Amino acid sequence: MTDPLVAVAGHLRAHFSSLGMDSEPDVASVTFLGVERIDVLRFGPDHRAGLDGVFHHVTLGCSRYPMADPSAPMSDPLLGPRAEVVLSLRAGASTTGLARTLGVVAATPAVEGVVLGPGALVDLSGPLWAEAPFTAVLLGDSEVPNLALTPPRDPVQFLSAVPVTQTEGAWVRLKGAEAMRQAWTDDCVDVLDPGRRAQRPG
């Protein structure tokens, strides 16, 4: 069978090229002890209305293997959900360290047996990048369409990752992901702004 990462990389290039981002993405590679290499591809800048200047950072490596339910007695090498993570930010502020952070998120299924999916809150217990006020990401659906793989393998889902502060993370745990997203919408919070202030839902 074809390496799923080859298909994922081609899928991502085709998707962002169709949106006007034709140049080859910047690539940063991240390695952790006991985990195969994870790349982070940076596509952009985006020039669509409302997204001008946004860069899309996408992991490539999480979908190498299916994510296993930690309660399952045995993991299947073919069957199970697969995912990659997409974090989009406007240019402007330095985001040194972001690639490593995304690598940590993408490695979570292999390291901790976590199954990533919409609504999941992944706490990094530290800034997502140098001097960032955000310490976690809230996962959701992204605009990148699912990628079908050769059966019997499950398709790859591309999950958006929105940076959240400790206060916002506590709100998500208390009220849920949708309540947090509604609060952002109600208060016109630009979650693509790396310098935005922490949201304090009432």
Cβ-based neighbour number of residue 27 at 10 Å? 12
Does the pLDDT value for residue 4 go beyond 60?
Answer: yes
Does the pLDDT value for residue 1 go beyond 60?
Answer: no
Q: How far, in Å, CA of 156 to CA of 153, rounded? A: 9
Residue (of 108, 116, 130) closest to 82 by Cα position: 116
Does the pLDDT value for residue 199 go beyond 90?
Answer: no
Q: How far, in Å, CA of 57 to CA of 100, rounded? A: 11
Residue (of 194, 191, 195) closest to 160 by Cα position: 191
What per-residue confidence (pLDDT) applies to 93?
Answer: 78
- pLDDT by residue (tens digit) across 38-50? 999 999 999 999 9
Beta strand 82-90 pairing with 156-164: parallel
What per-residue confidence (pLDDT) applies to 70?
Answer: 59
- pLDDT by residue (tens digit) across 48-85? 999 999 999 999 999 999 998 656 666 677 889 999 99
